[in-house]
Amino acid sequence: MSNVAILSLLPVIIMLVIAWLIFGGLKKVAKHISMNQRFNKGVIIVYTGLLLLAAVVYEFLPDSGYEMITQKEYHQFENENRAFKQAFGNNEVSKLDTKFLIEEWTQELEGDTFAIVSPGSDRPAVRGYVEWTDTKERVVEGKMYRTNLYMYGSNLKDKLPLLKMQWQGNELLIERPAKQEIKFYGFSNQLVSLSGILSRHEYGSLDMQGETYIYLKVPKHMNVVDELGFLLY
Amino acid sequence: MFLSKSSLGKVVRAQVRFKMTAYMGAVLSLIVVQLVGLIISLNGTGSMGTSIDNISIQVNIVTHDGVFMFVAIWALFVGNLITTKAYRYDDFSFVTTRLSGNIANIIILCMVSVFAGVTTFLSNYLLRVVLLLFGSSSYLKSPGILENPLSSYLNVMVIIILILTAASAGYFGGMLLQKSKVFMVLIPAFIIAIPVTKSGQAFLAYVFMENESMLFLLVKLVSITIILFALAIVTSNRLEVRA
Amino acid sequence: MTVIECQNVKKRYMGKNALESITFQLEDKKITGLIGRNGAGKTTLLKILAGFMKESSGEVKVFSNNPFNNLCVSENSILVDDQMSFPDTLKLTEILMMAPSFYPNWNAELATGLFEYFNLDAKQQHSKLSKGNQAMFNAIFGLATRCSLTMFDEPTNGMDEAVRTDFYRALLKEYIAYPRSILISSHHLAEIEHLLEDILLIHKGKVVFHQSLDEVKEYAVGIQGPTEKVEAYINQQEILHTKQLNRELQYTVVRKDSSMKYEGVTIQPVSASDVCMYVTSDTKGGIDDVFK
């Protein structure tokens, strides 16, 4: 028996002791309240009614929440992500699913040099690819894609602030969103204490973070100061 | 001399009706216990977090685990309570045998467990509504009852059976205590021994871990419950009354 | 028809022999007094008959069944004592309303009638009643069940004088209206003597005698007279009780022997209650022996 197991038992034992005290107290209190059968029945009916009402109200609450995906949908989305990643890796631009396209622009530059930079010290989680073109113009085309983002079974793609791509003079800024904490409630019909036991849980297994992809078309004659390592690909 | 003769079934039915009114207080205490559990659960039962590009995502999972813990202890307590002298002697003011009294008690515990299980399951929805109407965070749309009726049904069943198992353990333990005060020491020793000893751990693992599906867990729990009730009947069949 | 049959019943209880050897039969539809001193085993015997306790050895039959865990016995018999308990969640009237589903012969009219007569509070809980009212409620409950075997263990404990009298009257009227076997225990025979047909006297866990009240009244005689004369009469007989009234006069109780002729002494009848007391006392002189 490891010490961990003994320690994990401790709260249970403490809880038992507390519960025992509470029940002991309840029993004493109950002795002094002369309870009326009709009152009892009333309380029970009202309470049960309230619970049922809550279950019904929950179904009709304005749908500010996000739909949970099913296991089947999850697999489908996961495949989409995988296919996109593969296509991107193989530079098969035509195969990139347009449904993941977030923004698209064409920028005319003044000089022959531009830089891809990101403020802050951490490198943003982004995959980039630069395709060289033969054009003589100073035009850079850019596309940003975001693949499926599902957390805890809900689609958070529209809810979360994403990376931003913008031009500042000759700099292409790839900015991370401001530090932020987003809180959600999640509800479950299952006992979480059994979820480890029952292998499959409504949450957890349905995580899929997806990725941000940036695809740039740059004329060959241009110089790129590549801080983010896009050119490596 | 004319003797009236009732069948066991008829007496048990009368006893169940009697106990339904007499033990109403237990149901009331259940409601109090559930409310306490709900208040504690307001902060969520567990949380999960990840962060993506500066955004940290916190999901507060609100389940009925907190309420369930309290209700399970309550069931243990109620199972034990109705074996105490005050409750056993009440039976003997009316027509009873030890067997009929036991059967009636078991039926009552089953009924109470169903009520406790269903309300524990539903209490999660009370939490959902309260948190969503008065809380500030948004929420992940989570499965309601109707989205997957079979799974909801199984979840309720698991809760009911777990509560009933706790009640049967309390009932059997209570009967042992009525039999001899030695069990005051033996029962706690036994409870501690389960998670500490090898065979106890193996038993727990067998019951809770090695399940292909929830149905297996249900079958195991029901078997344990039946065994505990049967042992309680055997233990109490010689208990003397008003002694 | 025989209601109760006990054959050499023994009961060990709390490390003592509460019942040594009880053998008797109880016939149908009689009121029998179970008489004995404190600790004689009356309560233990009644609890065995009601199926609350199990005899250690011997044979107990109530309605030809062993009462322990027997549904028929439980349905057709009731033991009323001061340990009767009812759930606190029920009001007294609710308890009375529950009873008919258990006892098919339940007399609701009698129950409510007596309930009102004795001014019991309908909304009260059983455990909150005064001792006297509790005893009264239990007794009402017992009478109203109309069980073929109705047993009372010291039913009037805690009742005041007037209520006792009323209770005994109610018991008798109910018995006449609906005859059944009634076994009523008391350590105070005089109080219930007027109800009884039979007396079952037990002492130290054994049956001393089981006779009709009339027989008990004829059981012994008291001889009073000058000490020498009294002693001359009594030397062949079993002395139940003796008392030196003054220097010359002695009073002695012996088993009645109708063949005996007494001269020079006065012969007095001995009441049933005194018979029971003398038969069950360890010393012949009673408390006086202590102060000799």
Q: Percentage helix, strand, coil, to 5, in chain C?
A: 35, 30, 35
What is the Cα–Cα distance from C32 to C274, expressed in whole angstroms? Answer: 18
How many C-beta atoms lie closer than 10 Å to residue B1's C-beta?
Answer: 14
Residues C209 and C221 occupy one common structural domain: no
3-state SS of A30-51? HHHCCCCHHHHHHHHHHHHHHH
β-pairing, B46-52 with A223-226? unpaired
**What residues of chain B lie within 8 A of the CB of A160, using their CB?**
52, 55, 57
pLDDT at C57 over 90: yes
Q: Where are the beta strands (DSSP E) in C194-246?
A: 198-203, 206-212, 220-226, 239-244
Q: Find the closest chain A residue to C125 by CA distance.
A: A34
Structure tokens at A65: 């929440």
pLDDT at A233: 56
Structure tokens at C289: 């022996």
pLDDT at B91 over 80: yes
CB contact under 8 A, B45 and A26: no
**What residues of chain B lie within 8 A of the CB of C106, using their CB?**
none
pLDDT at A165: 81
Look over chain C and give the mean of its residue pLDDT values, rounded to a whole number: 90
**What residues of chain B lie within 8 A of the CB of A185, using their CB?**
44, 59-60, 62, 128, 131-132, 135, 137-140
Mutate to test the interface with C, among B19, B24, B88, B97 (most CBs of C within 10 A): B97
CB contact under 8 A, B3 and C105: no
| Owning domain of residue C261 | 216-291
Residues C243 and C129 occupy one common structural domain: no
Residues C231 and C171 occupy one common structural domain: no
- Range name among A181-185, B28-32, C72-76, C213-217 with the lowest pLDDT average: A181-185
Kindly write down the DSSP assignment for every residue of A130-147, as one continuous string: EEEE---S-EEEEEEEE-
- Give the N- to C-terminal CA distance of chain B in Å, as an integer: 30
CB contact under 8 A, A43 and B126: no
What pTM was estimated for this model as a whole? 0.84
**What residues of chain B lie within 8 A of the CB of A64, using their CB?**
138-139
**SS3 label, residue A93:** helix
C172, C188, C213 - which closes a domain: C213
What is the Cα–Cα distance from C142 to C151, expressed in whole angstroms? Answer: 8
Structural domain total, chain C:
2
**What residues of chain A lie within 8 A of the CB of B56, using their CB?**
180-182
Residues C127 and C176 occupy one common structural domain: yes
**What residues of chain B lie within 8 A of the CB of A149, using their CB?**
52
Kindly write down the DSSP assignment for every residue of B158-220, as one continuous string: HHHHHHHHHHHHHHHHHHHHHH-TTHHHHHHHHHHHHHHSHHHHHHHIIIIIS-SSHHHHHHH
Residues C128 and C264 occupy one common structural domain: no
- Give Cα A149 to chain centroid, integer Å: 6
Strand order in the sheet with A171-175: A164-168, A171-175, A113-117, A223-226
What is the Cα–Cα distance from A15 to B190, expressed in whole angstroms? Answer: 18
Query: CA-CA distances (angstroms) from residue C90 to A28, A40, A53, B28, C80?
Result: 17, 12, 31, 15, 19
What is the Cα–Cα distance from B63 to B122, expressed in whole angstroms? Answer: 10
Q: Please tell me which residue, B147 or B96, carries the higher pLDDT value.
A: B96
Q: Please tell me which residue, B87 or A17, carries the higher pLDDT value.
A: B87
Residues C272 and C188 occupy one common structural domain: no
What is the residue whose two structure tokens read 């022996």? C289
Q: Please tell me which residue, A176 or B124, carries the higher pLDDT value.
A: B124
- Which of A31, A34, A37 lies closest to C94 in CB terms? A37
pLDDT at A1: 40
Q: Which C residues, 31 through 50, put their C-beta within 8 Å of a C-beta on chain A?
A: none
CB contact under 8 A, A35 and C94: no
Kindly write down the DSSP assignment for every residue of chain A, as one continuous string: --HHHHHHHHHHHHHHHHHHHHHHHHHHHHHHS---HHHHHHHHHHHHHHHHHHHHHHHHS---SBPBPPHHHHHHHHHHHHHHHHHHHTT-GGGS-GGGEEEEEEEE-SSSEEEEE-SSSSPPS-EEEEEEE---S-EEEEEEEE---EETTEE-TTTS---EEEEETTEEEEEPPPPEEEEEEEE-SS-HHHHTTTS--SSSTT-B---EEEEEEEETT-EEEESS-GGG-
Structure tokens at A63: 């749908």
Contacts within 8 Å (CB) and 24+ apart, A161-167: A161/B55, A162/A102, A162/A212, A162/B53, A163/A124, A163/A126, A163/A212, A163/B53, A165/A103, A165/A214, A167/A107
- CATH no. for residue C75? 3.40.50.300
C213, C236, C264 - which closes a domain: C213
What is the Cα–Cα distance from B124 to B133, expressed in whole angstroms? Answer: 14
Minimal CA separation from B36 to chain C, in Å = 23
Residues C57 and C181 occupy one common structural domain: yes
Look over chain B and give the mean of its residue pLDDT values, rounded to a whole number: 88
Residue type, A161: P
* pLDDT tens by residue, B142-200: 667 777 788 888 889 999 999 999 999 999 999 999 999 999 999 989 988 888 889 98
**Cβ of A161 under 8 Å from any chain B Cβ?**
yes
pLDDT at B127 over 50: yes
Residues C110 and C186 occupy one common structural domain: yes
β-pairing, C31-35 with C181-186? parallel
pLDDT at C242: 86
What is the Cα–Cα distance from C241 to B107, expressed in whole angstroms? Answer: 60
CB contact under 8 A, A35 and C89: yes
pLDDT at A118: 81
pLDDT tens per residue across all 233 residues of chain A: 445 555 555 666 676 677 677 666 666 665 555 557 778 888 899 999 999 999 888 888 765 555 666 777 888 888 888 888 888 878 777 777 778 888 888 888 888 888 888 877 677 778 888 888 888 888 888 888 888 887 766 777 777 777 888 888 788 888 888 888 888 787 778 777 676 544 444 555 567 778 888 888 888 888 888 777 776 65
Residues C202 and C256 occupy one common structural domain: no
Residues C150 and C186 occupy one common structural domain: yes
Q: Report which listed range, A151-160, A169-178, B131-140, C66-75, is most confident.
A: C66-75
C185, C213, C241 - which closes a domain: C213
pLDDT at C240 over 90: no
ipTM beyond cut 0.90: no
Residue type, A219: P
pLDDT at C190 over 60: yes
Residues C123 and C142 occupy one common structural domain: yes
Residues C181 and C274 occupy one common structural domain: no
pLDDT at B219: 92
Q: In the complex, which subunits touch C with 3 or more CB pairs below 8 angstroms? A: A, B
**Cβ of B113 under 8 Å from any chain A Cβ?**
no
- CATH no. for residue C273? 3.30.70
